[in-house]
Structure 1
Amino acid sequence: MNKTSTESGYDKRNYFRVSSDVFFDYKQVDSFTAENSDAENEFEDAVSLSLINELRRLDKDNVQTLRLLTEKNRLLGDYLQTLSSKIDLIARHTLFTQDHFSGQKEKTRINISEDGISFTADKALYKGNYLVVRMIFLPSYAPVVTFAKVLRCESAGDKHHIAASFHRIEEKDRQELSRQILKAQVMLKKQSTK
């Protein structure tokens, strides 16, 4: 029985873990900050992320109204949904291509799950260190900003492979991660069937 639960745990971990190219950055923070602060405020361009979150909130507030409109007039509902998506995409693209994001223009390959992240860093980080991490997924420019705690650091030459678990991740960010992981899995399945 123990063997079966271990195997299913292993399968589940592999199924939910995907690699993704994102705009990615991180900063080390102390434990007090990780326990008490808002992750988004740890970056100088927090105003941009606040605007994205406000757009998310407005979309969430309008879901029921859009559903009712779609039931009465399918064409109008589809048009309004498309219009909303276009506005959202333009806003994200405009915000994340401004000068203060110029250091993030190069995509980074990270490995993510709903529970954590692994990535390559230029400097070593110690087990137990806290980080604030920001991932901006493409092409939607959907941001996820949260704290993480380093689980391990393995050095290979002048590079360091970091594994960290998310810490105090907000539900909106967990949901966005789920969406991005699902998208990546669908893409992988499509590629493997070609």
Structure 2
Amino acid sequence: MVDVAAINLEDLYIYSPRDLNVVKLTACKTLKSLFLNGVTVTEIWLEKLFSSLQNLEKFYLIRCLTLRTVKISSYRLKKLIVVDCLNLVNAQVSAPNVLYFSYNCCSSLPTLNLKGSGSLEATISFDSLETLDSDWYSKLTSFLRNFNHSIAIELSSQNDEVIVIPKDVRVNLLPPLHATNNLQVNIQE
């Protein structure tokens, strides 16, 4: 167990190569930036974290493999980055002042409900391990709708099949990003 009790701490980086099981943040009222890499995180732990860290502005979740559901509610959060949380299936984020959101994963897309700033910039990088069928593209468009009124969106993928929605599927789907002014698409192959 790691218990961090630091009244004046503003930035904290915790890295564990073997999934650190218990992290307690006690009396870290001034914490503004939290980076968790390889830490066992649960939905209950996250809820307690955000209720106790009122000044948190930047939150990074990297390779938190136990995390299946995320519920984040924060007025101060400005930056949220989620990378390789492979088992994440549902994320609900209510952060009206979040200006930057990044999601990077090679597994399936989670169900996302994001309430963020109108000045949001998003970077989304993914490759699907799922079958690329109408269900996949329906999940993709639902995920992308969260960024419909964002200032800028960058989409990246290893291959075009994951991002480019086939014509026969497009007929039945509403365009997810019709109100976005700046869209950048990066395809490696």
TM-score above 0.5: no
Bigger radius of gyration: 1
Q: TM-score, normalised by structure 1?
A: 0.21
| Higher relative contact order, chain-length normalized (CA < 8 Å, sep 6+) | 1
Q: TM-score, normalised by structure 2?
A: 0.21
**Comparing both structures, which one devotes a greater share of its residues to strand?**
2
**Comparing both structures, which one devotes a greater share of its residues to helix?**
1
